[in-house]
Amino acid sequence: MKRIKDLPVFSRPREKLKEKGASALSEAELIAVILGSGNKGQDVLTIATKLAKLIAADKGNLSLEALSAVEGIGPAKASQILAGFELARRHIVKEAVRITEAKDVLPLISDITHKQQEHFICISLNGANEVIEKRIVIVGLLDKSQVHPREVFADVITDRAAAVIFAHNHPSGELKPSNSDLKIHEQLTEAAKILGLRVLDHLIVAKKGYYSFQEAGLIHS
């Protein structure tokens, strides 16, 4: 790919976006617009092309570390890319997702499947079971004292949600809930009842699949 300064003005990513809209740009050009500039060693389009290949390969498993490993990308620019992806994901989720079964939740939580630490997620939903927001509440070893209802439901109440779905990953690969998982679920379910919230499901995910409390008969209305 030619360097920015070798392109006619009307073909440069920013000018092209202004003239024709974002949909007219290639993935590398879109990334170049986000990055803004390259460095002394590499033109922005050269760096953007490398990032486009990485993004195509890793899709939902992008990380700050992987992006920063690309030559010409430091933590600041890697953060810009991740923030752009997260903002887009949140808006797409809000418009598109209605939960009818456990499998509908899996695309929303695929990003924690391969994590080496446990991540606890709370998804808030409206009365039609449409996703309002997904939040990572806790990162680290989960126990009853850490996953406190106050932390889990504070933003859910602000969302004026009608229902919630809980999810967490098991880095060990074990899908069945532990005694600690069952205690956490019981504690959160009791708190949800007091707040007038329905608990639609609680999912455990790992590399080999998922476990649904709803499918296992552990969710009682």
Give the tens place of pLDDT for each residue, 172-209: 999 999 999 999 999 999 999 999 999 999 999 999 99
Q: For the chain, what percent of residues have pLDDT higher than 90?
A: 43
User: Same structural domain for residues 116 and 208?
Assistant: yes
Please tell me which residue, 91 or 80, carries the higher pLDDT value.
Answer: 80
Q: Which domain holds residue 22?
A: 4-94
Domains: count for the chain: 2
Could you tell me which residues come within 8 angstroms of residue 24 by beta carbon, excluding any fewer than 6 positions away? 16, 17
User: Same structural domain for residues 115 and 198?
Assistant: yes
205 domain residue, yes or no: yes
Residue-wise pLDDT tens digits, 121-170: 999 999 989 999 999 988 887 655 578 898 899 999 998 999 999 999 99
The pLDDT value given to residue 60: 59
User: Same structural domain for residues 102 and 138?
Assistant: yes
User: Same structural domain for residues 47 and 107?
Assistant: no
221 domain residue, yes or no: no
The model's pTM is: 0.61
Please tell me which residue, 168 or 19, carries the higher pLDDT value.
Answer: 168
